[in-house]
């Protein structure tokens, strides 16, 4: 270690941390009630059962059982807390900190042209598509006399759909279209003709179901004698959903040989709402989609405010189920699909970034990073973004316990909390380390309290996991020359000397799904498109991008470990460079650089450089803790130390921030000394933090 360093007390180091107020999901401690009989406390010890017994022995009430950290949440009076501090089964008591959320948003418009689904029955097929969009499925025939376009009572004959009845009046045929929500106009049109034998006793019923199950009548075609021709137009806007189904049904008779009802040119015209997101293209994910790498069969768990019960989260692009489970950590119960809700909007937004399966209005590109990924949702924050350490830890406990059942490979944590201790002493961090140790790739937000140094929050201050900062394309997604590091993005180093963030990703003015009636959208209506999309900025959004990229990597190579995923992400990232070939931003601001999904997947020979010298098992056991290679000299400059404690050239940073409009993301930069600064060594407390 260099001679200008001095050991500092733990309390002094903590005092140097700048208070975090995360713009999206920021945990902030609140003052304990002055006159409260009991307080919510996190109690940890040698084992879960011993801690439970200790709490009950002093008359406390256990509210949360947290096996993942050998602890519980409990309601305790100050006197009970004092008793527990002297209990040999208890190692630590900590306040159950509260969580709040706020937003930062910018507006963006989307296109709404008219679209059509249409069938002209030009071939003997139930699967034809003659419109600008495809029907959701083929015609579904109910017919005891046979099934298919060339047999039975319903057939395609001479370029028209022909219906005929039977004695049981069970003949029907229907087809579905997925139009989405918030459609402003939708019209159904078709041509019809009756055969010469039709009489007043014959009846055809046209029906519609918004859910594909419960039908409502649109019109009854009866009291027709002989041949009749016509066309119809219906306003079906009120029935538009992702499961809208129209059906023609024989209501009575049509059983004689010359009694037929013909249908042709069936069309639904509606205003097509297909927003275009840019971050899949900017990160290279779109190129991977073209190769069939889309996150298929990889499960991403999102711990946030929940999700809306939208088809976007229920189905993959091929309409196969992909929502595997939702766990409500606040209520401590697993939810059914229909119980899903997100009254905040934040959880839906980040989940949409990860896995939105819809395609854009431009070139049919997917709007999400990993559109085929499976989803597990953990709800730990309420409608106003409020939550607690205890609920978050309980959610993490559930994820680790169910990782094998749902094949959870990636965990997205788009929130950040002000550090209250060294990383290893924080119970939320301990739970996150358990997830990493269990083989889950954990991706967390750096925080939105930049640009000052040492503002990385919990759990992003963990050296093991992938911590993500935010950049912005400056509203020119096709021009990287004016990209900027987001001014709100939190920066390192951590108080333990680790370089953070690990990399940056798109996090400025990000368009993703959010329902109009959520708390965020109603508070900021100017940033909602009045349909289903909202534009928001933050490291929460950047984190979701990287979680999606991790899912792509794990589909391409399921054998990757969390350390290998982190290594490939960092070695394939493109650092921001200026015209002189120097770093445009410090590594404490941009980490390894801008995420590049394509290179991360195809960088197969990347060496394992992440977390060298660290031992998560020892950290959790308390037998060893670790420090990073960042330090600060007496002049206030941050720098990286080599193995002898000397400063390495090229990494000095004075803590300043500047907007740079003239740099580029370099994919071929040679890091001085490799990525050794991502590793660590045994903690000795010898860091000099000036200030």
The DSSP secondary structure of 541-583, one letter per residue, reads HHHHHHHHHHHHHHHH-TT--HHHHHHHHHHH-B-EE-TTSSB
Q: What is the mean pLDDT of residues 239-246?
A: 91
- Alpha-carbon distance of 390 to 329, in angstroms, equals 9
CATH number at residue 285: 3.40.50.200
In which band, very low, low, confident or very high, does the pLDDT at 197 lie, cut at 50, 70 and 90? very high
Domain boundary pick from 227, 254, 271: 271
Asked which of 342-356, 410-424, 640-654 is least confident by mean pLDDT, the reply is 640-654
Contact, 483 vs 576, CB < 8 A?
Answer: yes
Residue 471 pairs in a beta bridge with 485, 506
Instruction: Report strand pairing: 466-472 vs 503-506.
Output: parallel
Tell me, what's the pLDDT at 183? 76
In the set 64, 346, 402, 528, the catalytic residue is: 346
**What's the CATH number where 39 sits?**
3.30.70.80
Q: Please tell me whether residues 568 and 524 are part of one structural domain.
A: yes
Omega cis (within 30) before 370: no
Question: Residue 487 has what pLDDT?
Answer: 87
Distance CA 450, CA 489 (A): 5
Residue 677 has pLDDT above 50, yes or no: no
Over the stretch 276-328, which tens digit does the pLDDT of each residue have?
Answer: 888 999 999 999 999 999 999 999 999 999 999 887 898 898 888 999 999 99
Determine the pLDDT at residue 20.
31
Q: Which DSSP helix (H) or strand (E) runs through 250? A: strand 244-252
Query: Distance between CA 371 and CA 69 in Å, rounded?
Result: 33
Residue 484: DSSP 8-state:
E
Nearest to 249 by CA among 336, 341, 172: 172
Q: What is the pLDDT of residues 473-530, one digit of tens each?
A: 766 666 666 678 888 999 999 999 899 999 999 998 889 989 889 999 988 888 888 7
Q: Cβ neighbours of residue 420 under 8 Å, at least 6 residues apart?
A: 14, 29, 94, 97, 426, 458
What is the signed CA dihedral for 250, 252, 256, 257, rounded to 10 degrees?
-10
- How would residue 11 be classed by pLDDT, with cut points 50, 70 and 90? very low
543 pLDDT above the threshold of 90: yes
Q: Does residue 183 share a domain with residue 39?
A: no
Query: Do the Cβ atoms of 102 and 519 come closer than 8 Å?
Result: no
CATH number at residue 140: 2.60.120.200
Is residue 569 located within the same domain as residue 435? yes
The whole-angstrom separation of Cα 458 and Cα 376 is 22
Would 104 be classed as within a structural domain? Answer: no
Catalytic residue among 202, 304, 391, 483: 304
**Helix/strand/coil (H, E, C) string of 397-428?**
HHHHHCHHHHCEEEEEECCEECCCCCHHHCHH
Extract the tokens encoding 372: 């085929």
pLDDT recorded at residue 99: 59
φ/ψ of residue 444, rounded to 5? -130, 155
687, part of any domain? no
Same domain? For 330 and 238 the reply is: no
Does residue 33 register a pLDDT over 50?
no
Residue with token string 């991977």: 288
**pLDDT greater than 90 at residue 674:** no
Q: Which of 13, 24, 176, 7 is nearest to 104 (CA)?
A: 24
- Quick check: is 478 in a domain? yes
- 675 pLDDT more than 80: no
**Which of 271, 304, 322 is the last residue in one of the domains?**
271
Q: Which of 62-66, 146-150, 389-393, 676-680 has the lowest mean pLDDT?
A: 676-680
380 closest CA partner among 393, 368, 399: 393
Phi, psi of 594 (to 5 degrees): -80, 130
Q: Which of 442-446, 472-476, 482-486, 687-691 has the lowest mean pLDDT?
A: 687-691
pLDDT at 347 over 90: yes
Domain count, the chain: 3
Active site residue 360: no
CB-CB contact of 188 with 267 (8 Å): yes
47-52 contacts, C-beta under 8 A, 24 or more apart: 47/89, 48/72, 50/89, 51/89, 51/90
Tokens read off for 628: 């990073």
User: Which residues share a beta bridge with 187?
Assistant: 235, 269
Is 87 part of a structural domain of the chain? yes
- What per-residue confidence (pLDDT) applies to 31? 37
In-domain check, residue 17: no
**For residue 13, is it within any domain?**
no
d(CA 296, CA 311): 17
Q: Whole-model pTM above 0.85? A: no
Residue-wise burial string across 564-585, b where 16 or more C-beta atoms lie within 10 A, e elsewhere: bbbbbbbbbbbbbbeeeeebbb
Residue 605: the pLDDT is 66
Region of 497 on the Ramachandran plot (φ > 0 left; ψ -120 to 50 alpha; else beta)? left
- Give the model's confidence band at 581: pLDDT under 50 very low, under 70 low, under 90 confident, else very high: confident
Kindly report the number of other CB atoms within 10 A of residue 267's CB atom: 17
Residue whose pair of structure tokens reads 């984190």 in the numeric block: 543
Name the catalytic one among 540, 547, 572, 586. Answer: 540
Task: With beta carbons less than 8 A apart as the criterion, state whether 17 and 495 touch.
Answer: yes
Q: 393 burial class (0-12, 13-18, 19+ CB within 10 angstroms)?
A: buried
Domain span at 50: 31-96
Known catalytic membership, residue 178: no
Residues 264 and 318 in one domain: no
- CA angle (357, 288, 366) in 5-degree steps: 25
Q: How far is CA 545 from CA 290, 369, 425, in A?
A: 18, 7, 29
Is 1 a member of any domain? no
| Mean pLDDT, rounded, of the chain | 85
Q: Are residues 267 and 283 in the same domain?
A: no
- Secondary structure of 502-535 in HEC code, one letter for each residue: CEEEECCCEEEECCCCCHHHHHCHHHECCCCEEE
Give yes or no for residue 689 having a pLDDT over 80.
no
Q: Are residues 295 and 209 in the same domain?
A: no
pLDDT over threshold 50, residue 685: no
pLDDT of residue 650 exceeding 80, the answer is no
Q: Which residues contact 655 (CB under 8 A, 6 or more apart)?
A: 452, 453, 636, 637, 638
Q: Is the pLDDT of residue 24 over 50?
A: no
Task: Tell whether 88 and 135 lie within a shared domain.
Answer: no
398, two tokens:
């559930």
509 belongs to the catalytic site? no
Q: What is the helix (H) or strand (E) element at residue 434, kind and residue range?
A: helix 427-437
Tabulate helix, strand, coil % of the chain (nearest 5).
Answer: 20, 25, 50
Say whether both 193 and 336 belong to one domain.
no
The confidence band for 616, taking pLDDT boundaries of 50, 70 and 90, is very high
Query: Which one, of 488, 114, 88, lies nearest residue 274 by Cα?
Result: 114
Residues 319 and 171 in one domain: no
Predicted local confidence at residue 261, as pLDDT = 97
- The pLDDT assigned to 98 comes to 67
Strands 323-328 and 333-335 turn out to be: antiparallel
| Residue 592 exposed, middle or buried by CB count within 10 Å (0-12, 13-18, 19+) | buried
> What is the predicted pLDDT for the residue at 583?
79
- Does residue 16 lie in a domain region? no
CB atoms within 10 A of CB 377: 26
Q: Which regions of 336-390 does DSSP assign to beta strands (E)?
A: 374-379, 387-388
Banded pLDDT at 29 (limits 50, 70, 90): very low
Q: 217, 238, 271: which is the final residue of a domain?
A: 271
């Amino acid at each position: 270690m260099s001679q200008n360093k001095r050991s500092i007390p733990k309390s002094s180091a903590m005092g140097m941390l700048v208070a975090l107020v995360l713009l999206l999901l920021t945990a902030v401690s609140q003052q304990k009630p002055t006159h409260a009989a009991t307080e919510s406390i996190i109690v940890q010890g040698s084992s879960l059962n011993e801690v439970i017994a200790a709490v009950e022995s002093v008359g406390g009430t256990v509210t949360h059982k947290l096996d993942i950290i050998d602890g519980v949440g409990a309601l305790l009076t100050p006197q009970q807390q004092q008793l527990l501090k002297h209990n040999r089964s208890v190692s630590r008591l900590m306040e159950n900190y509260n969580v709040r959320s706020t937003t930062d948003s910018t507006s963006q418009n989307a296109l709404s042209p008219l679209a059509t689904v249409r069938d002209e029955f030009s071939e003997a097929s139930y699967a034809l598509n003659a419109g600008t969009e495809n029907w959701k499925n083929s015609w579904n025939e109910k017919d005891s006399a046979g099934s298919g376009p060339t047999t039975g009572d319903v057939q395609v004959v001479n370029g028209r759909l022909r219906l005929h009845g039977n004695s049981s009046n069970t003949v029907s045929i229907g087809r579905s279209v997925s139009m989405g929500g918030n459609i402003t106009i939708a019209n159904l049109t078709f041509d019809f003709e009756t055969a010469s034998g039709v009489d007043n006793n014959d009846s055809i019923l046209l029906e519609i179901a918004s859910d594909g199950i419960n039908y409502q009548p649109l019109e009854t075609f009866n009291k027709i004698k002989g041949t009749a021709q016509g066309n119809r137009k219906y306003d079906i806007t009120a029935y538009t959903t992702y499961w809208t189904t129209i059906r023609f049904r024989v209501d009575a008779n049509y059983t004689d040989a010359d009694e037929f009802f013909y249908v042709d040119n069936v069309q639904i015209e509606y205003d097509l709402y297909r927003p275009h997101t840019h971050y899949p293209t900017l990160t290279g994910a779109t190129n991977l989609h073209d190769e069939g790498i889309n996150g298929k069969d990889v499960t991403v768990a999102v711990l946030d405010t929940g999700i809306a019960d939208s088809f976007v989260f229920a189905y993959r692009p091929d309409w196969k189920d992909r929502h595997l489970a939702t766990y409500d950590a606040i209520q401590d119960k697993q939810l059914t699909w229909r119980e899903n809700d997100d009254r905040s909007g934040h959880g839906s937004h980040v989940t949409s970034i990860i896995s939105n399966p819809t395609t854009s209005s431009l070139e049919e590109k997917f709007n999400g990073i990993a559109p085929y990924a499976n989803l597990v949702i953990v709800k730990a924050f309420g409608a106003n973004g409020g939550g607690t350490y205890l609920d978050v830890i309980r959610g993490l406990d559930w994820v680790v316990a169910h990782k094998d059942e749902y094949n959870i490979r990636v965990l997205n944590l788009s929130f950040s909390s002000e550090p209250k201790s060294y990383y290893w002493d924080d119970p939320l961090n301990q739970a996150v380390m358990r997830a990493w140790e269990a083989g889950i790739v954990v991706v967390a937000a750096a925080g939105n309290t930049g640009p000052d140094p040492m503002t990385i929050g919990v759990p992003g201050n963990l050296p093991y996991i992938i911590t993500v900062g935010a950049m912005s394309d400056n509203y020119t997604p096709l021009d990287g020359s004016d990209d900027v590091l987001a001014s709100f993005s939190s920066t390192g180093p951590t108080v333990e000397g680790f370089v953070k963030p690990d990399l940056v990703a798109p996090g400025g003015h990000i368009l993703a799904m959010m329902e109009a009636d959520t708390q965020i959208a109603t508070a900021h209506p100017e940033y909602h498109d009045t349909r289903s999309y909202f534009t928001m900025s933050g490291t929460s959004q950047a984190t979701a991008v990287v979680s999606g990229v991790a899912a792509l990597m794990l589909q391409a190579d399921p054998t990757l470990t969390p350390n290998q995923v982190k290594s490939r992400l960092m070695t394939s990232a493109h650092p921001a460079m200026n015209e002189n070939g120097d770093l445009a931003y410090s590594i404490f601001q941009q980490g390894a650089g801008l995420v590049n999904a394509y290179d991360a997947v195809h960088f197969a020979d990347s060496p394992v450089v992440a977390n060298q010298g660290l031992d998560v098992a020892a950290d959790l056991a308390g037998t060893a803790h670790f420090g990073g290679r960042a330090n600060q000299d007496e002049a206030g400059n941050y720098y990286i130390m080599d193995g002898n404690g000397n400063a390495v050239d090229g990494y000095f940073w004075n803590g300043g921030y500047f907007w740079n409009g003239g740099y580029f993301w370099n994919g071929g930069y040679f890091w001085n000394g490799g990525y050794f600064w991502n590793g660590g060594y045994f903690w000795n407390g010898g860091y000099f933090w000036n200030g």
